Amino acid sequence: MMIASSIATVLLLSVSLFALPIIIVADSDQDQTAPARSKTYVLVHGPGSGSWNWYKIKYMLQQAGFTVYTPDLTSHGIMDNRTADTVFTLVDYAQPLLNCVASAPEKVILVAHNTAGTPCTLAMETYPEKIEKAVFLSAVMPISGTVINDYLKAPFQQLVDENAMHQIFAQGTFYETTSIQMNATAMREYYFGQSSLEDYIMASSLLCATPYRCFDDPVYLTPERYGSIDRFYIKTGQDKIVPPVFQDIIINKNPPKQVFVLKNSDHASFFSETDLLFTLLKNIPLL
């Protein structure tokens, strides 16, 4: 795999109560920048996924001299005996991530994809002294007291209505949803629309159910802990899982330090825009 010599070019808009620094990511001839010293990244997967979805980015970051951890959230790991229907709380769901951050020998840069935004936010509040920066990749970025469903209920319901996602009722249909399962066939259009066929085939064979009840657990945040960490947001312009309009809602409710835009990325930018995402993440320590 060749590591492209691409770098984010920057277009800064005026900062006000109604505008954020918007950073357009594009190719250039040569990457002249690199962090002064090695950093540690913790890459956290979204729903139906696992640590495997970071394999390209992990390889590229490691080849560039970084340390990279890719924990599986509870019930997602290949060696995890738990099922999604048995995970009831956010703390339970996030525990592998919390353990990873707590045991890291130095400060880490968190990268959250989709629903992993809430477990990562919990980690920021729990271990602010262990986290240098946080990056939200088409991810939930909650404010204090909110839950994932406050942000993703509408797009999730649309996916269910269009048969791209199924609700699972392990205790019977008269009870609450216990987990959600992506339709592997539909995911070619919805999740991996700009990704290669090879990556889609690999991913579709690995998709798993995701706990749902833990999404109703609120996370409570403080300015002194969570608020002390710089946040960055990466928008995915061709995303059909969390469409750009919903990403804008997330951003406007809780503005980060900077917003990046991968205009041609589907939801799986680690596959569809691998080189640009790698270069962007590599340069986050400089911002």
Q: Encode pLDDT of 113-132 as tens digits.
A: 999 999 999 999 999 999 99
Domains of the chain: 40-283 (3.40.50.1820)
- Interval 79-89: pLDDT, tens: 888 999 999 99
Strands 40-44 and 108-113: parallel
Q: Please, are residues 139 and 116 in contact by the beta-carbon 8 Å criterion?
A: yes
Q: Please, are residues 88 and 213 in contact by the beta-carbon 8 Å criterion?
A: yes
Average per-residue pLDDT for the chain: 88
The count of C-alpha atoms lying within 13 angstroms of the C-alpha of 111, restricted to the half-sphere facing its C-beta, is 26
Distance CA 90, CA 66 (A): 29
Give yes or no for residue 42 having a pLDDT over 80.
yes
* pTM of this structure: 0.88
Phi, psi of 136 (to 5 degrees): -110, 110
Phi, psi of 58 (to 5 degrees): -60, -45
What pLDDT, on the 0 to 100 scale, is given for residue 131? 98
Give yes or no for residue 196 having a pLDDT over 90.
yes
Give yes or no for residue 10 having a pLDDT over 50.
no
Of the pLDDT bands very low, low, confident and very high (cuts 50, 70, 90), residue 27 is low
**135: nearest Cα among 278, 19, 6, 34:** 278
What pLDDT, on the 0 to 100 scale, is given for residue 32? 44
